[in-house]
Chains A and B, each alone.
Chain A
Amino acid sequence: MRAEIKKIQDMMETADYVTDPAIAMSVHLAMTLKKPLLIEGHAGVGKTEIAKVMAKMLGTSLIRLQCYEGLDAAQALYEWNYPKQLLHIKLEESTTHSTSEKEAAIFSPPFLIRRPLLQAISQPGAPPVLLIDEIDRADEEFEAFLLEVLSDFQVTIPEIGTIKATQPPYVILTSNRVRELSDALRRRCLYMWIDFPGFEKEVRIVTRKVPGVNERLAREISRFMETVRTIRLAKVPGVAETLDWAQALSSLHADHLDEELVAETLGCVVKDADDIKRLKRELASGGIGRFVAAQS
């Protein structure tokens, strides 16, 4: 293994992120090729975490743009500070400045609100990590706009001029696949799919993140989660749920799983009424043994 990749893996582990070679490789390539990295996967598998760890590793800041339906350039890029402009106009009312002077004054950098994309481009010093979280929640028009920003990392503000990044930021995009992303965006990015962790990896995550859980319980939890994910549920639980549950069990001072304990804490694992019913049915028919017994 290339030393740099090993180093990334070690650094991620130090930052309490349990990783694997595939994730380390993607981060390595995103950093060396300076290309945006698109991370897809089920909810709660640690997509967002990667950007945070990357910023920590690089010793740089993390700028986050949370996407939502209706997000537009004014919210993502920049906006003028209208109340401040209005106040300024009011204060200047009695002065003899000309219209063009007034205009120049209120459309100048002190009146500019820098939103995440502009922040990421105009930040002095080391390039930051720009996290564009849940891009699938934004509209298709926004995706096209983003594509433009990501291709040349420059922004033209009519009143001020063009701002270009001296060093383009590291870009991480995440998607839960609520909406299918365009091919153009996909082509622009490096791609990584993060699946639910395998059994061994999940055990490592649990013991790392929830120190109060002993080895036996960690294995039982992971086995249980592995089985739960094979059942058809409306919302398949991710690693976030595993950790919530482990935390709950740890605070109850549990050292192994039993039926009663599972029934009491099931709300940490699945968070949908129908799913809870279904899981309870499965537990009643097969017993806890089926869920925690080692699978071949």
Chain B
Amino acid sequence: MQSPRDLMRAVLAFGGVLRSAGLPVTTPEVMDAVRALEVVDLMDRHEVYLALRTVLVNRMEEQPAFDRCFEAFWTYRADEGQGLDGLITTAQPARADEEHAPDLVESAQEKQAQIALDDWDEGEASEDEPLEVPGLSDREVLMEQDFSTFPAEQLDEVARLTVLIAKRLARRVSRRRKPTRRGGVVDLRRSMRANLMKGEIIDLRRRARRRRKVRLVLLCDVSGSMDLYSRFLLQFLYALQNVFGRVETFTFATRLTRVSDLLRGPSYKRALKRLTEVRDWSGGTRIGDAIRDFNQEWGHLVDRRTIVLILSDGWDTGEPDVLAQEMLTLKRRAGRVLWLNPLLGNPSYEPLTRGMAAALPLVDHFAAAHNLSSLRELATHLILR
């Protein structure tokens, strides 16, 4: 018979396996899982599965990973013929699991490699410090230069400058948001107190209406030459991220990939550098399909308080009709849709590609984002009224 301690240890180990597979399992949740197992039939595998799933899974997207982990972790011991209650008595379940569930561990390690970006290149952390850059005017030349024309060795400096500009902007925006004394909604509660002796309300007390932060959704084309611009845009927006409620990022070339989790946390700059590695070089860009996938899978991230930014040169190898239809769906949901096309920085450029022509009428703002000054300019459009 298992003792409660062994049950606890097994569940703890299972929590570890889930964590390495990318599920954010916390200790209180593990404790709840133990309590949950006390009120179900431990001899019934499906019941154990359902109970653990209810407690340890937090969102639908985590379920496939949970299922894989559950299979790997709780199956192997059944194979040893111990029965289900025997499963839970193994002395070192976590290690045993690693030996017996190569598939799971492999995928877990893969996931870890994606997430554990903090471990590489620690030396760069100083980028977060407020840097003293001698007068931006000295860099006026850099401000106007197209990102693609910088030599490789200068890119780091430009990146640093991008962050610096973003931080200055962030300070300005947050100052602008302080509540005003006039306007806002009537605060009945305070008015009532203030007028207690007067018998009627003469002096209205007001409070500022709270403002929800604007959220951003970025859809970045990482095919071919777009990749470099995408990285600068991301760098810029992530340095601004405190101003926004949330920033969600997707990349696409032929496939749509959500990279928000990769970019979360202090290691986002390093993660940015890796974005190119998930890129698929095959074929052209199917923007319409990418936006359709986004609308289908991730439409719930977009509401009237969301600004959607699409960065692409508009070279769509898919059907323009699809692109137009999906842009319409997106526009209906979002507060604003911005399209950034670095080619617009070239004076002779005209948006004549079929994709661009289909998308343009459905865009609230069309801008370049090809150099530092255009990024700075972009910030003024990231506001909803």
What residues make up the interface of A, taking CB atoms closer than 8 Å to B? 1-2, 4-5, 21-22, 25-26, 28-29, 32-33, 35, 40, 80, 82, 85-86, 89-90, 93, 99, 102-103, 106, 136, 139-141, 176-180, 183, 186-187, 189-193, 232, 234
Q: Closest CB of chain A to B144's CB: distance in Å?
A: 38
| Chain B residues within an 8 Å CB radius of A136 | 300
Q: Does B55 contact A (CB under 8 A)?
A: yes
Stretch from B161-169, B195-203, B377-385 that touches the partner: B195-203
Q: Does B116 contact A (CB under 8 A)?
A: no
B40 touches A25 (CB 8 A): yes
| Chain A residues within an 8 Å CB radius of B53 | 22
| Cross-interface CB contact of A80 among B40, B44, B189, cutoff 8 Å | B189
Q: Closest CB of chain B to A193's CB: distance in Å?
A: 4
A86 touches B200 (CB 8 A): yes
Which 4 A/B pairs are nearest by Cβ-Cβ distance? Answer: A186-B58, A177-B300, A25-B50, A193-B60
Known: A89-B200, A139-B210, A191-B54. 12 other contacts (CB 8 A): A1-B44, A2-B40, A2-B41, A5-B47, A22-B53, A25-B47, A26-B54, A29-B39, A89-B196, A89-B199, A103-B193, A186-B58
Q: Does B351 contact A (CB under 8 A)?
A: no
Given A1-B41, A29-B39, A179-B303, are A234 and B329 also a contact pair (CB < 8 Å)? yes
| Chain B residues within an 8 Å CB radius of A28 | 39-40
A33 touches B199 (CB 8 A): no
Q: Closest CB of chain A to B232's CB: distance in Å?
A: 26
Stretch from B27-35, B131-139, B220-228, B310-318 that touches the partner: B27-35
Complex-state Cα separation, A136 to B300, whole angstroms: 10
A2 touches B39 (CB 8 A): yes
Q: Does B26 contact A (CB under 8 A)?
A: yes
Complex-state Cα separation, A35 to B54, whole angstroms: 11
Complex-state Cα separation, A2 to B43, whole angstroms: 10
| Chain A residues within an 8 Å CB radius of B199 | 89-90, 93
Complex-state Cα separation, A1 to B47, whole angstroms: 7
Q: Which residue of A lies closest to B25 (CB)?
A: A187
| Chain A residues within an 8 Å CB radius of B55 | 29, 33, 190-191
B329 touches A29 (CB 8 A): no
| 22 residue pairs A–B, Cβ–Cβ below 8 Å | A2-B39, A4-B39, A28-B40, A80-B192, A86-B201, A89-B200, A102-B196, A103-B196, A136-B300, A140-B245, A141-B212, A177-B300, A179-B300, A183-B58, A187-B28, A187-B58, A190-B54, A191-B58, A191-B59, A193-B60, A193-B63, A232-B296
Q: Closest CB of chain A to B289's CB: distance in Å?
A: 12
B188 touches A82 (CB 8 A): yes
Q: Closest CB of chain B to A198's CB: distance in Å?
A: 16
Q: Which residue of A lies closest to B61 (CB)?
A: A193
| Chain B residues within an 8 Å CB radius of A180 | 246, 300-301
Q: Closest CB of chain A to B19's CB: distance in Å?
A: 13
| Chain A residues within an 8 Å CB radius of B28 | 187
Q: Closest CB of chain A to B132's CB: distance in Å?
A: 35
Q: Which residue of B lies closest to A182 (CB)?
A: B246
Instruction: Encode B182-193 as 1/0 by CB contact (under 8 A) with A.
Output: 000000110011
Complex-state Cα separation, A40 to B61, whole angstroms: 11
| Chain A residues within an 8 Å CB radius of B245 | 140
Given A2-B39, A29-B39, A191-B58, are A22 and B189 also a contact pair (CB < 8 Å)? no
What residues make up the interface of B, taking CB atoms closer than 8 Å to A? 24, 26, 28-29, 32, 35-36, 39-41, 44, 46-47, 50-51, 53-55, 57-60, 63, 188-189, 192-193, 196-197, 199-201, 210, 212, 245-246, 296, 300-301, 303, 329
| Chain A residues within an 8 Å CB radius of B58 | 183, 186-187, 189, 191
| Chain A residues within an 8 Å CB radius of B212 | 139-141
A33 touches B200 (CB 8 A): no
B47 touches A2 (CB 8 A): yes
Complex-state Cα separation, A85 to B196, whole angstroms: 10
| Chain B residues within an 8 Å CB radius of A179 | 300-301, 303
Complex-state Cα separation, A183 to B197, whole angstroms: 47
Q: Closest CB of chain B to A181's CB: distance in Å?
A: 8
Given A32-B39, A86-B201, are A186 and B59 also a contact pair (CB < 8 Å)? yes
Q: Closest CB of chain B to A189's CB: distance in Å?
A: 8
| Chain A residues within an 8 Å CB radius of B197 | 99, 102
| Chain B residues within an 8 Å CB radius of A189 | 58
Complex-state Cα separation, A19 to B46, whole angstroms: 16
Q: Which residue of B lies closest to A32 (CB)?
A: B39
Q: Which residue of B lies closest to A38 (CB)?
A: B58
Given A90-B200, A193-B60, A232-B296, are A22 and B41 also a contact pair (CB < 8 Å)? no
Q: Closest CB of chain B to A19's CB: distance in Å?
A: 13
Complex-state Cα separation, A183 to B58, whole angstroms: 8
| Chain A residues within an 8 Å CB radius of B301 | 179-180
| Chain A residues within an 8 Å CB radius of B192 | 80, 82, 85-86, 106
Q: Closest CB of chain A to B116's CB: distance in Å?
A: 19
A33 touches B47 (CB 8 A): no
Q: Which residue of B lies closest to A92 (CB)?
A: B199
Complex-state Cα separation, A232 to B192, whole angstroms: 54
Complex-state Cα separation, A26 to B24, whole angstroms: 20
Complex-state Cα separation, A77 to B309, whole angstroms: 38
Given A183-B24, A187-B28, are A21 and B50 also a contact pair (CB < 8 Å)? yes
| Chain A residues within an 8 Å CB radius of B59 | 40, 186, 191, 193
Residue from the set B26, B28, B54, B196 with the largest chain A CB neighbour count within 10 Å: B54
Complex-state Cα separation, A26 to B50, whole angstroms: 8
Residue from the set A4, A22, A89, A192 with the largest chain B CB neighbour count within 10 Å: A89
| Cross-interface CB contact of B46 among A21, A29, A187, cutoff 8 Å | A21
Q: Which residue of A lies closest to B246 (CB)?
A: A180
| Chain B residues within an 8 Å CB radius of A86 | 192, 200-201
